[in-house]
Structure 1
Amino acid sequence: MQIGEAARASGVSAKMIRHYEAIGLVPTADRRDSGYRDYADEDLSRLRFIRHSRDLGFPIEQIRVLLRLWTDRGRSNAEVKALARTHLAELEGRIVRLREMADVLQHLADACDGDGRPDCPILAGLEAAGCDGSRAGNRSVCHPNPGAD
């Protein structure tokens, strides 16, 4: 099948299929006499595997390792589990950081009356957040308006 059909069947865009070929994540597809790429069912399975891995947030280099393990029938599932656990810990760390960011943004939004005046606690908070880089709880240590919590 041609690249457009492979894209539809795998859920991976044609652009990303070409990119994955360019970086060696998928083998370069065979070419027909007409020059069009020709994808087999095996290629679709690999593309779906990559798409599912990307959907779970695995970075390309970890997907490369997962693909190697997937095709190695002599693999140890302990290695696969360790890779999944490492990625899970990274995701949980990101969740914590995202929650902190949301809390800070919620605090800034709550501090804004939104009444059309030019003073803006949100912009002031964004400016202050970079003044010394230190943090106390979820807020920057330095505030342009001390006591304005």
Structure 2
Amino acid sequence: MIRHYETLGLLTSVHRSDSGYRLYSEADVHTLRFIKRARDLGFSMHDIAGLLSLWHDRKRSSAQVKRIAQRHLAQLRERIEHLQAIERSLQRLSACCHGDDRPDCPILDDLAR
């Protein structure tokens, strides 16, 4: 993933030892932790790039950061609603299925529609 972060410009090229091993500075490690935390919160790579840029910009306004976070939160809520609708459908279909030795199955019937 680190190479991917480098190609996306999220992380500057890391120095290498004579044997080719990457040598990370404290700033590199801090940036990697920032990226990991942002990924853990589900931010897209595009948003992470924007957040990193704002993080490094001491003249930023927190309003810019908040807009990114609120947009992401709205997207998460939309995805949660969608997943809850899927859950309700599967619960309904599972409740309709007898789960016995008979071949008829409302789950497969629904999928075939």
**Equivalences for 1:110-129 in 2 at 5 Å?**
110-128=95-113
Q: Which runs of 5+ in 2 are unaligned?
A: none
State the TM-score, normalizing by the size of structure 1.
0.73
Whichever residue aligns with residue 38 of structure 1, its letter is L
Per-residue Cα deviation, 1:106-136 (whole angstroms, up to 9, x for no partner): 11111101002221111111122xxxxxxxx
Moved runs in structure 1, 4+ residues, more than 6 A? Answer: none
Aligned residues: 113
CA distance in 2, matches of 1:80, 1:56: 14
Residue number in structure 2 paired with 1:133 = none
Residue number in structure 2 paired with 1:98 = 83
Aligned-residue offset at 1:46: 0.5
Q: Which runs of 5+ in 1 are unaligned?
A: 1-15, 129-149
Query: What's the % identity of the aligned pairs?
Result: 52
Q: In the alignment, is residue 41 of structure 1 matched against residue 17 of structure 2?
A: no
Give the RMSD, CA atoms, in angstroms.
0.9
CA distance in 2, matches of 1:118, 1:18: 51
Residue number in structure 2 paired with 1:17 = 2
Residue number in structure 1 paired with 2:12 = 27
State the TM-score, normalizing by the size of structure 2.
0.95
Q: Which structure: greater helix fraction? A: 2
CA distance in 2, matches of 1:78, 1:23: 25
Residue number in structure 1 paired with 2:55 = 70
Whichever residue aligns with residue 97 of structure 1, its letter is H
